[in-house]
Structure 1
Amino acid sequence: MAGRINEEDIAQIRERSRIDDVIRGYVQLRNAGGGSLKGLCPFHDEKTPSFTVTPSRGFYYCFGCGEGGDVITFLQRQQNLSFVEAVQVLADRAGIVLRIDDDGQPGQQPGLRKRVLEANQAAQEFFSGQLDSAEAVEARRFLNGRDFDRAAAQQFTVGYAPRHGQALRQTLRGKGFDDTVLKAAGLIRDGGRDFFTGRVLWPIRDSAQAVLGFGARRIYDDDRLPAKYINTPESPVYKKSHVLYGLDLARREIGRRSQAVIVEGYTDVMAAHLSGVTTAVASCGTAFGEDHARLLQRLMGSSDGLHGEVIFTFDGDKAGQAAALKVFKGDHNFTAQTYVAVEPSGLDPCDLRMQQGDAAVRELVARRVPLYRFVMSNIAKSYDLDRADGRLSAAREGAELVGSIRDQSLVTQYLRELAGVLGMDVEDVRREAQRVARRGQHAEPPRNEPPPEDAASSPDPDWPRPDDPALRLERDTLKLMLQFPLTFDTAWNAVTADDFTHPGYQAVFRLISSVPFGEGWTDQLRSQAPNDLVRQLLVALLVEPLLRVPDEGYSLAYSSRLRLTHVTRDIAQVKSRLQRTDPLKDPTGHRAQFAQLTELEMLRKKLQSVSLG
């Protein structure tokens, strides 16, 4: 989607989408008292409910796995959606028409996106129905010839566009769609003629199941368009670099298995899924690119790069080798490991299934090899290894390949493999790799890598335990501040960050004290949190129940107890320094420390009194 969703619309969606109503569609919730609900966490296996929902604050949090957020976050996590997709789903659910703010461009017509999606859905139903018509005999013959029966066509909602130039337009106009919407959706051309005519069609959906556009294949020799495949033109909802065919079917399995299999066409996706490879997707009308990579990376949710895998299916010919090399050059877009599944016979998954059955397609994916190894073997083939200069050139190019491997513990093993492929001494290959590494140290860092997080603003990586008795006072005070901020004065009852001993709690308080209280305060806190740890800790403190509903006196007593513990620590430190100071040798220092101790003792008595209410 071009532009940004209007912030007021997002706020309205959060307001009108009750988090407990949305979550009840996935989790059985029970009353836990104090205005909270509990259930079994949908994000990890557990027997005792630790998943807490606080409808009054619009947040959920699991005290077992640490997942937390608002209604939009929940839908993102549960359905493997992007932020925009989750907002769109909730907007449709609440009947809210989203406004799109385009930077420096006229805003999109309000409600156009929703109408385009509705038109696409109506078109998909029309096309699917036409597949059973008498005219569609050639389309059915095409599918049957690729071993796709009627059940398969229904599973993938394959359709047929009639050869009549305005069949779709007339049908959808009868359903209330005007030409402006149909043209914006890419369903009709400027003259009013249907965009797709006389072709087999596949609906292209996003991970939220919305129909974004269509892919169509030529089946008639007299088709006026010579291209074998055509796709929906760019529209308010269809951007070819952002969509993947089969994503609606594969998204859950991609997330569950942290695996994505990239095939080349619509029938290949069908063949893969029918064969049991349920993580298969394909790009639509364009080469697999960076945006596709980011989309898959989000769905897989693999952050360490060693557990997820992206598998590309290529032919073993020169075109397949060139495609593999192109993917390898963009391999930095993934944190998952990348592989290549090559069919030596040159058959694509659809033809492979037809000739050798479902098991052969599964075996193709199972025989995957690391992308680096596939490219490395092809590098070796491109040089004359019988010549010393050929081996050296291959070693240099291969060393660059090895230098890009993420798991550095495997580099030594891969260097041995490269040396074996080239017939060289492993130490000679290692020296070439070291030269490459030295050159890389002087290169500019990749632009797509985020800057290092400011250590001063980052809390301790150790998560503060909710049941730690030593930190209970700090945790409860922050819960009061976040859940009942109006029971504190504007200076947070004189509490400071130094009153907290855990870096995580210190970071949360600094955030609280830096964001002025007002409408949407908790949303602002989350958006301005310095990192995910603070953000998740913030949500946990917002939903964790309190012992009682506080008033100003209760909050003042709690904050005074927190300050009292800090003052008590300071008194102990001053007493220790005072004992080590000789009043005869350093009378000035001794008097200053005695005065400081007296002042602290007075403050301690005052705080003791207030803390007792």
Structure 2
Amino acid sequence: MARIKDQSVRDVIAAADIVEVVGQRTALRRSSGTRYMGRCPFHDERSPSFSVNSDLGLYHCFGCGKGGDVVTFVRETEGLDFVAAIEWLAERFRVPLECEESSPLADEARRRRERLYAVLDQAAIFFERHLWEGPAGEQVRAYLAGRGIREEAARAFRLGLSPGEGLARKAREKGFTAQELRAAGLTNQRGNDYFPPRLMFPLADARGRVIGFQARKLRDDDPLRGKYVNSPEGELFKKSAVLYGLHLARPAIAKQDRAVVVEGNTDVIALHQTGFEPVVASMGTALTEAHLRELARLTRRLFLCFDADAAGEDATLRGMELAAGQGFDIRVVTLAPGQDPADAPDGFEARLGDAESYLHYRVRLEIERASDRQEAFVRAREILARAEDSPERQDALRLLADRLDLPRETLSGIAPARGRGGGPRELSQPRKLLDAGERLERDALAAVMAHGELVDGLAELSADHFDVELHRRMRFLLVERIDSTDADLVALRAELDARADREGITRRTGAELLLRLRERKLRRDLQAEEDLARTTELQAHLAKVRQALTELA
């Protein structure tokens, strides 16, 4: 993959309006000058503690501690890596990207993919127009209304109608080739439209780019056999990697630290339009490695909501076990036969409250599947022996004991697995409280950020005046007037900026803080010094610093 030039990265960051980007996730109110405040989009809070500096392009939350620049924000909210976040911002703010020299083959592949994305987006627009503007769309719009899908939600998910013909001709008129249409899965071998008249669900990648379609049958004389038919698998579309609705659910998944996986596209839409947003569909497939990679960027808490038959299928169970093995906290919501989440979307949150832990669900299922008491015990023991000790495991053990009427000594023989690491992440980690020395260093750096004229005073201090390595690195950047894309330094820079504003750190206060760092270093040196002459010299320096502090007071 070609590397984006550093200058292009700088151009994107300079062009990106952080207030506009953050404003899509939470309402911001100007507090003063270039400073905005709002409720944090990363955690629930009543009082706004989320600070944005539009001039420096930085944000920081005093509640949860998250902070950084506009690239960090996009990475956090969209679940993207650095390169993808730069591409996302470049597309949003129309900044052309230049890449380092790459091979002709790599350039050709990149251009081909861009053309495929473009033709698929044009196809989505074509289908949308036929649904909302064409005469044939009236009946389909009535069908959607009958399913409880409102126009606003249908438009948000870009639902459309394939007329069965005309797409290939329109695309060729726009300059797309027959080869491109075939590679995008929009035409068949004869060059005709691939999809007959059907309700179209665009399938998008993590960035919201259309990569294919799922088409629902509308008529009995439909030439395609399946009720739902997907685009042919190709360079962009691979069914096992797609989670329907993920591009719209990402912000809610990240903020609520949970994702709900359902089976069908209409379930996602029905729940979304009730205001329940952290939901995606696996499109009838079990959880795969690709699904889990996408979800792991946002959360480790998964609620799986399938009908009774699907939840017990071996493929679904293997997907659950795969997720549990990767440290996901799995909860299972089993629906009655023939029932979908869309049947009662308004009460869906209550269903999640009754969800079973993965271990409880698996043990219950194995007991119900077994032909006798002995087989049930063996099956359940195999599941429990692979699990580490946890409250969920203890709950599953109690279920096994109650169902099979087992004595306590029998259960004690089912030893838990040893810790393997990679377990569920801590769901709530309190922010580290700064000690006095660390706070002194951070406040001094915040003062220098807020008052550039203090840089010379900071330059007179060495790295040894700072105990925290990250602070030493920040001192170097401030003295040398260098920007960095290092995530830790960007986050610290954002915190220092917000801290200086909230604490009202003045230039005079900053000068005092720098003197305090000098004083601390001199006192430490005196304690360690054994040479009399050197001790006398240090005491003289300390007296001067204390005099300067007195004059500032």
TM range (shorter): 0.7 to 0.9
Instruction: Give the direction of change, closer, same or farther, for the CA distance of 1:461–1:20 in structure 2 (3 Å limit).
Output: closer
Q: Which residue of structure 2 aligns with residue 582 of structure 1?
A: none
Is 1:396 equivalent to 2:381 in the alignment?
Answer: yes
Counterpart pick for 1:523 among 471, 484, 500: 484
Instruction: Give the direction of change, closer, same or farther, for the CA distance of 1:221–1:110 in structure 2 (3 Å limit).
Output: same
Asked whether the equivalents of residues 161 and 196 of structure 1 are also in contact (C-alpha less than 8 Å), the reply is yes
Q: Which residue of structure 2 aligns with residue 463 of structure 1?
A: 433
**Where does 1:391-540 land on structure 2 (aligned, <5 Å)?**
393-400=378-385, 403-404=387-388, 408-433=390-415, 436-437=416-417, 440=418, 445=420, 462-464=432-434, 473-479=440-446, 492-497=459-464, 499-500=465-466, 506-512=468-474, 521-524=482-485, 526-527=486-487, 529=488, 536-540=491-495
What TM-score do the two structures reach when normalised by structure 1?
0.71
Is 1:342 equivalent to 2:334 in the alignment?
Answer: yes
Asked whether the equivalents of residues 269 and 281 of structure 1 are also in contact (C-alpha less than 8 Å), the reply is yes
Distance (whole Å) between structure 2 residues aligned to residue 316 and residue 289 of structure 1: 19
Instruction: Give the direction of change, closer, same or farther, for the CA distance of 1:226–1:339 in structure 2 (3 Å limit).
Output: same
Distance (whole Å) between structure 2 residues aligned to residue 103 and residue 198 of structure 1: 43
- Report how far residue 77 of structure 1 moved: 4.7
Q: Which residue of structure 2 aligns with residue 372 of structure 1?
A: 359
Instruction: Give the direction of change, closer, same or farther, for the CA distance of 1:409–1:597 in structure 2 (3 Å limit).
Output: farther
Which deviations, in whole Å up to 9, do the C-alpha atoms of 1:339-361 show, x marking residues without a partner? 222234x21517x83xxx66787
- Report how far residue 140 of structure 1 moved: 7.0
Is 1:328 equivalent to 2:289 in the alignment?
Answer: no
Q: Which residue of structure 2 aligns with residue 161 of structure 1?
A: 162
Q: More displaced, 90-99 or 372-381? A: 90-99
- Report how far residue 399 of structure 1 moved: 2.5
Asked whether the equivalents of residues 164 and 193 of structure 2 are also in contact (C-alpha less than 8 Å), the reply is no
Q: Which residue of structure 2 aligns with residue 37 of structure 1?
A: 35
**Where does 1:556-567 land on structure 2 (aligned, <5 Å)?**
559=514, 561-567=516-522
Which deviations, in whole Å up to 9, do the C-alpha atoms of 1:386-405 show, x marking residues without a partner? 45xx465235314325x246
Q: More displaced, 87-96 or 327-336? A: 327-336
Counterpart pick for 1:315 among 288, 308, 312: 308
Which deviations, in whole Å up to 9, do the C-alpha atoms of 1:27-80 show, x marking residues without a partner? 4443635xx413233436777765433344321223344231111223445567
Distance (whole Å) between structure 1 residues aligned to residue 478 and residue 54 of structure 2: 23
Distance (whole Å) between structure 2 residues aligned to residue 486 and residue 362 of structure 1: 54
What TM-score do the two structures reach when normalised by structure 2?
0.77
Asked whether the equivalents of residues 231 and 285 of structure 1 are also in contact (C-alpha less than 8 Å), the reply is no
Distance (whole Å) between structure 1 residues aligned to residue 431 and residue 271 of structure 2: 42
Instruction: Give the direction of change, closer, same or farther, for the CA distance of 1:539–1:215 in structure 2 (3 Å limit).
Output: same
Asked whether the equivalents of residues 398 and 418 of structure 1 are also in contact (C-alpha less than 8 Å), the reply is no
Asked whether the equivalents of residues 366 and 380 of structure 2 are also in contact (C-alpha less than 8 Å), the reply is no
- Report how far residue 153 of structure 1 moved: 5.3
Instruction: Give the direction of change, closer, same or farther, for the CA distance of 1:360–1:511 in structure 2 (3 Å limit).
Output: closer
Q: Which residue of structure 2 aligns with residue 288 of structure 1?
A: 287
**Larger RCO (alpha carbons 8 Å, 6+ apart):** 2
Q: SS at the partner of 1:214?
A: strand
Instruction: Give the direction of change, closer, same or farther, for the CA distance of 1:38–1:332 in structure 2 (3 Å limit).
Output: same
Q: SS at the partner of 2:484?
A: helix
* RMSD value, Cα: 4.7
Amino acid at match of 1:329: E
Q: SS at the partner of 1:107?
A: helix
**Where does 1:246-265 land on structure 2 (aligned, <5 Å)?**
246-255=245-254, 257-265=256-264
- Report how far residue 607 of structure 1 moved: 5.2
Distance (whole Å) between structure 2 residues aligned to residue 265 and residue 154 of structure 1: 18
Q: More displaced, 24-33 or 391-400? A: 24-33
- Report how far residue 507 of structure 1 moved: 2.7
Amino acid at match of 2:163: P
Q: Which residue of structure 1 aligns with residue 427 of structure 2?
A: none
Distance (whole Å) between structure 2 residues aligned to residue 208 and residue 542 of structure 1: 30
Which deviations, in whole Å up to 9, do the C-alpha atoms of 1:99-126 show, x marking residues without a partner? 6789997135666666544433332232
Distance (whole Å) between structure 2 residues aligned to residue 424 and residue 45 of structure 1: 44
Which deviations, in whole Å up to 9, do the C-alpha atoms of 1:446-503 show, x marking residues without a partner? 6x689xxxxxxxxx973327xx6x7664234323566778975799434234x346xx
5+ residue gaps, structure 1, are: 451-459, 575-591
Distance (whole Å) between structure 2 residues aligned to residue 383 and residue 236 of structure 1: 44
Q: Which residue of structure 1 aligns with residue 532 of structure 2?
A: 594
- Report how far residue 602 of structure 1 moved: 4.0
Distance (whole Å) between structure 2 residues aligned to residue 119 and residue 511 of structure 1: 47
Instruction: Give the direction of change, closer, same or farther, for the CA distance of 1:31–1:176 in structure 2 (3 Å limit).
Output: farther
Asked whether the equivalents of residues 314 and 343 of structure 1 are also in contact (C-alpha less than 8 Å), the reply is yes
Amino acid at match of 2:384: A
Distance (whole Å) between structure 1 residues aligned to residue 371 and residue 155 of structure 2: 53
Q: SS at the partner of 1:566?
A: helix
Distance (whole Å) between structure 2 residues aligned to residue 363 and residue 45 of structure 1: 20
Distance (whole Å) between structure 2 residues aligned to residue 117 and residue 602 of structure 1: 71
5+ residue gaps, structure 2, are: 425-429
Distance (whole Å) between structure 1 residues aligned to residue 514 and residue 101 of structure 2: 46
Q: Which residue of structure 2 aligns with residue 68 of structure 1?
A: 67
Amino acid at match of 1:13: V
Distance (whole Å) between structure 2 residues aligned to residue 222 and residue 128 of structure 1: 23
Is 1:205 equivalent to 2:167 in the alignment?
Answer: no
Distance (whole Å) between structure 2 residues aligned to residue 289 and residue 41 of structure 1: 35
Distance (whole Å) between structure 1 residues aligned to residue 345 and residue 439 of structure 2: 58
Instruction: Give the direction of change, closer, same or farther, for the CA distance of 1:140–1:21 in structure 2 (3 Å limit).
Output: closer
Task: State the structure with more CA Rg.
Answer: 1
Asked whether the equivalents of residues 15 and 95 of structure 2 are also in contact (C-alpha less than 8 Å), the reply is no
Q: More displaced, 146-155 or 262-271? A: 146-155
Q: SS at the partner of 1:197?
A: coil
Distance (whole Å) between structure 1 residues aligned to residue 539 and residue 153 of structure 2: 81
Which deviations, in whole Å up to 9, do the C-alpha atoms of 1:247-267 show, x marking residues without a partner? 355445444544433222224
Q: SS at the partner of 2:378?
A: helix
Distance (whole Å) between structure 1 residues aligned to residue 477 and residue 183 of structure 2: 42
Identity %: 28
Distance (whole Å) between structure 2 residues aligned to residue 597 and residue 5 of structure 1: 54
- Report how far residue 522 of structure 1 moved: 3.1
Aligned length: 540
Which deviations, in whole Å up to 9, do the C-alpha atoms of 1:524-569 show, x marking residues without a partner? 4x34x4xxxx76434212453485679xxx9998645422222124
Q: Which residue of structure 1 aligns with residue 122 of structure 2?
A: 122
**Where does 1:142-153 land on structure 2 (aligned, <5 Å)?**
none
